[in-house]
A and B are shown apart, each in its own frame.
Chain A
Amino acid sequence: MPSLPDMNTPDVAELARGAAAASRATEVPTPDAGQEAFFEALLRIGDSTLILGHRVSEWCGHSPALEEDIALANVALDLIGQTQMWLGLAGEVEGKGRSADDLAYLRDAWDFRNLLIVERPNGDFGHTLMRQFLFDAYHLELLKALAGSSDPRVAEIAVKAAKEVAYHLERSSDLVIRLGDGTDESHRRMQAALEALWPYTGEMFLSDEKDAEAAAAGRIADPASLRPAWERTVRDVLGAATLTIPEGAFAHKGGKRGVHTEHLGYILADMQFLQRAYPGATW
């Protein structure tokens, strides 16, 4: 994963590996037939945080104000840090020796399981914040539910990440309200962003047989169960922002099955270039 390179200390990676190897406590459930669905469910979480983290990091150096630039970079950093934990666990569950780095850098688009909303282009600053808000509101509910997972490894990552995501949501909703209930121009742009992104929210709550299997084992939350709380948050915030929630329930879908928009390939080309061009490169 893209942790910051440390030029002077080449043994950091070894230390980290040692620490990771030692960090797994005792009560890890024994593998069973549900491992494949569990692996899939973990990819769906980790790939969404990875791709959104990468998207948000594209703002670095381009935001409208220094404080916003820093804030976006910090949100991206949190998401990438969470990805290391989710994909690290996914690799462990899969049991084929793949690390979080392997999963992030060496899979092609059809193996990614992220929601389509996170691969949407950034658009303008308001568009990026609207996408962030719609995702944050879902993300926090997801993590709160995962905190009750039957697998302690999932629960502990979720508890940790939820603390960070609560701040993401606080920031994105504050800015959505300020821009929505702002000038005519900012209101118009936020309403346009909401209308463009709304059809991508339905996918968050759709389940398939893999979700159902992992949810039945108590490992993950049933996606549909997250919807009422998400809708409450979205209604409250968009109402305060004087924005109108679009009608219609059409939902773009496919990301969770590996059917992506053309945008994901460009993201991967950028993100994976180094490991593809120089396999195994380390620093």
Chain B
Amino acid sequence: MDLDFNVHEFYEQMRRETVILSFKGVVSQDLLSRLAANLKNRSSGDSTMIGKRVFAIFIELSQNVNLHSAEKSYSIKEDKPIGIGFLLVSEAEDHYMVSSSNLADKKRAEATIERCKYINSLDKEGLKDFYKDQRRQPQRTESPGANVGLIDMVRKSNNPIQAEIYPYSEEQSFLTISVKLDK
């Protein structure tokens, strides 16, 4: 880090943007469940559904980072490589925003963008059908995930999912995914 990096400014910027949670690093199972637990408490002032939904979306996004980030750190405790990435939750007057950012294989990131476009084009019934159809597909061999996380997040948020790619190298891109939940 540059010696003139201003931690206070960084913190102030997050405060201005009403960030309630930010984490950059190894997104282990234990860590994400602790962060998520705080989030659930934090959200409990509103209606119970929004707290549950922020919690659910945070879990899905963090588990995406854990499983799919192209940047990994090996955990001796879990005997597995664990994804590194960035998680951000902010709370505005009328909505919550939950985001993740991580390095991803370029092709995989592009496929995610396409999948999000398709999911965003579906209406409520279409989302339900696609969710059920995808859950019925055989388990992907390359991933322990269910391949319905993105669909689930759109269904829970009632908003389109925002996915963006930022160039990094020949083989890898940064993938940012954001989900907005109206209060």
A and B part of one assembly: no
Residues of chain B at the chain A interface (Cβ within 8 Å): none
Question: Which residues of A approach B to under 8 Å, CB–CB?
Answer: none
